[in-house]
Amino acid sequence: MKKFLESLHDLHVKAHVVKDETETREVLRRILSDEGSKSVVVAGVPDRYAGAVRAALIGLRADVVEELSGRPQGEVIGILAGADAGVTWATNGVALEGAILEVVYDDSAKLASSLPILHVALLESSSIVHDLVEALPIVGDIVRSSPPERKPIVSFISGPSKTGDIEMRLLYGVHGPHTVHAVILDWR
Amino acid sequence: MTGVEASVRMTNNRQVLLSKLRRALKDNESSERFWAAMTKARANRTALLEKEHLDMHAIKESNKAIKDSSVADGRLVEEFAENVRRNGGQVFFAKTGADAIRYVEDVSKRVGAKLIVKSKSLTSDEIDFSHELEKSGVSSVETDLGELIIQLAGETPVHLVMPAAHKSLGQIARLVSGAVGSEVPPEDQAVLAAVRGYLRRLFLTADIGVSGANIGVAETGSIVIETNEGNGRLVTSVPKVHLVIIGMEKIVPKWEDAAYLVKGHSSSATGQNMTVYVSVITKHGPLAGSTEGREYHVVVLDNGRSKMRDDPSFSEALNCIRCGACMNVCPTYGIAGGHTFGYIYPGPIGIPWTAEVHGLDKATFAHLCVSCGLCKEICPVDINIPMMIAKVKEEEVKENGQLGVNDFFMASEGLAKLASATAPLSNWALRRAATRAIMESLFGVDRRRTLPTFSRKRLRERIAPLGSGSGERGKVVFFPDVYADYNDPELGVRAVRILLSLGYRVEVPALRWSGMPYISYGEIAKAASVAKKNLEALRPYLDQGFSLVSTEPTAVYMFKEVYPTLAPGELAERARGSSHPFFGYIQDRLGDLELRPPSPPAMPSGSTSPATTAPSRRGSQRWPSCALRGTTSRWWRTGLAAAWPAPSG
């Protein structure tokens, strides 16, 4: 956990460790209101934590989209591209590389962490693994054990989108999110 | 026409190379910017290795083992394809670039595509994807910022990882202004915002997303894509059709293999533990539950790769993971730039790739390589790039004739003997402008090039009175090579004296030179013959446990890195293990020695490359300067304007 937090800090990811439902709600509300989010998409948050997320969003004057299925693809893309924050679930944290591991089964969930300018990822403190060499075989297991018709779409994310293509200067915020928060759920 | 040109059989390609080189040398601004980018990339890599205590040697070993076995295993491609198909994707094996293009055109036509968004893919650059698709009315837009800049400028990438490293902010802002149709000020954030807005529209309306793949994993038919900007994630998920172009050499058996390659790639490419995004894709996902029109295609490209795999001289090139590290250390590439030192694939590893994939006639730039060996040293897969380059030079020379100036310097072992025997007359003659004019017009030796002076009394004669020493500390064969024998034997005398005073027995047997110029100029058979002769002459000494020590960096490099390839076997391996650069030898053994060499350069320890530290721009100021100066600095002083590399001493 200590290494994970250090790595996140080095990579410009804002990390928050939360102890319970109340703290989770407060931290989420603060992030979204500080960033001035007006429309938020939520994807893949498990039931145990969905309540806290919903509670955080109530009272924010923002449009919230939790369910996209059933809408035409063009409309879905439009909603996701119009959102200014994505709140998503990460199955693991990777300490050494400061990465969060996102495993989803629908591209709309992947786009919730790629199109909006703000990305808030939730993950459990118990899910942190040591490094990529440990994490990639986990991905392999998930891919192998999924049936052909439902294969996972996997992304490791370690920080906001960045580029060095202008005179080798490190600049943040290109096509992906400009700001990334990791909310680490350390509920007892 | 200059003397240099007169001496070179000027094929059209060589002529083009020379004029490109002249232009590049005049463009100081781009060149300085490019050099700064290389320097920074090297520093980023070094900083990461230090911060994370990464063992590059171990990384090289595991990467090499993975790639060696994957590339050799022809069934992997089949296994990969079978798994992609099982998951519902379509696989097309493209024998040539044209086959790949035709397949994409067919898909585009069928789905009525007008716009393709593309995330950085060197493999698609290799087959000139965007231009070819344009011809059939489909526009293909690059979405990586560096690649977009290059596309807007109508150029090819100057570097594998930093495609637009030579462009200034001002130039980039002008190019982006042209694309968005309004004035973008030359400020970082303004450019980024304009690019984000411009490409966002294209992402959302594109019909097909085309990506490359850093790795293919056979056991599940998955691909791994590494990016920093986030364009790769959008290209692979917004458009209805995702099409992957992957070189057949990128496929490894298992997930564990992929993990090591991802680490090896990002650390060497950008000095990151991992890129911001590492995406794993196994099929095209549904969007909000809908699979309507969502197709997944994987084009597996051969385009000369199976020919490379079956050619022992070039199969190792397929181990390349495209990190670009070899570019960041290459001195001539750094000065000439990737448009001169490259075709589509630039830099050192670009030489064998160009020769094999695009043809020998496109690989004339091989002659810009000075055979310093740094590319092998930094390569995270330990690819023997220098030997492949020597091979390309050999083939080019076979086709078009040797360069006169190279013939001259390859004869320098004999010429040195002659000049030494006739010194000081020879030195007087070599200082005369008239002699230099004749040498320039006859042999192409540029008159600005510094030539060494010659000593009448050679090393063995000079050290004879010193005796061969007690040997209480050990036994050493001192190898002077040409420089410390004919040109500056005093250097050799000092080295021998130090070894003697430390208690070593020192022998200087009659050996031939190291043969380095033969490697530099692509005469591999001659180099191999010298290697065999020297190794045989050394055998009795190696049998008795002698170490081999030289003040000549190129000679140590030859013994350690080149002879084992030229004359493989137990003898060459023993010589490899026993060879030491002079300073390294005394430094390793005598920590308390009074004589201190300059502080070690910022390269991995145990460096045996002639260029013992990362090259500096147009000069030698960063090389260790001391009483026992090697010949390395002279390499860079010789002046690239003369176009062809200098020989080793």
At a CB cut-off of 8 Å and minimum separation 6, what does B637 contact? B450, B619, B620
* A110 touches B: beta carbon within 8 Å: yes
Q: What average pLDDT does this structure show over A46-67?
A: 91
Domain annotation for chain A: domains and CATH numbers: 2-185 (3.40.50.10420)
Question: What pLDDT score was predicted for residue B4?
Answer: 52
Q: What average pLDDT does this structure show over A120-127?
A: 98
pTM of the model: 0.90
Question: What pLDDT score was predicted for residue B404?
Answer: 87
Q: d(Cα B613, Cα B348) in Å, to the nearest integer?
A: 17
Of A133, A142, A167, A180, which to mutate for an interface test with B (greatest number of B Cβ within 10 Å)? A167
Question: What pLDDT score was predicted for residue B466?
Answer: 93
Q: d(Cα B463, Cα B486) in Å, to the nearest integer?
A: 13
* A107 touches B: beta carbon within 8 Å: yes
Question: What pLDDT score was predicted for residue B480?
Answer: 96
The H-or-E segment that residue A93 falls in is: strand A92-94
Q: Which of A106, A144, A149 minimises the CB distance to B289?
A: A106
Spell out the alpha helix ranges (H) of chain A.
Answer: 2-10, 21-34, 47-57, 73-82, 107-112, 132-145
Paired residues of B477 in beta bridges: B507, B548
Which residues 138-177 on chain B approach chain A with CB closer than 8 angstroms? 143-146, 149, 162-165, 167-169, 172
Q: Do B36 and A152 touch (CB under 8 A)?
A: no
Q: Do B37 and A168 touch (CB under 8 A)?
A: yes
Positions of chain B with pLDDT lower than 70, given as ranges: 1-10, 590-649
* A173 touches B: beta carbon within 8 Å: yes
In chain B, which residue's Cα lies nearest the Cα of A136?
B259
Q: State the smallest CA–CA distance between residue A15 and chain B in angstroms.
A: 16
What is the side-by-side strand order in the sheet with B277-281?
Answer: A128-129, A92-94, A99-104, A153-157, B277-281, B222-227, B215-217, B251-252
Q: 3-class DSSP state for residue B264?
A: helix
Question: What pLDDT score was predicted for residue B591?
Answer: 59
Residue A108 has pLDDT above 70, yes or no: yes
Question: What pLDDT score was predicted for residue B599?
Answer: 52
Of B79, B277, B283, B296, which to mutate for an interface test with A (greatest number of A Cβ within 10 Å)? B277
Name the residue with tokens 């968005």. B180
Question: What pLDDT score was predicted for residue A172?
Answer: 95
Name the residue with tokens 């809908």. B290
Contact B257, B73 (CB under 8 A): no
Question: What pLDDT score was predicted for residue B470?
Answer: 86
Q: What average pLDDT does this structure show over A115-120?
A: 97
CA B414 to chain centre: 31
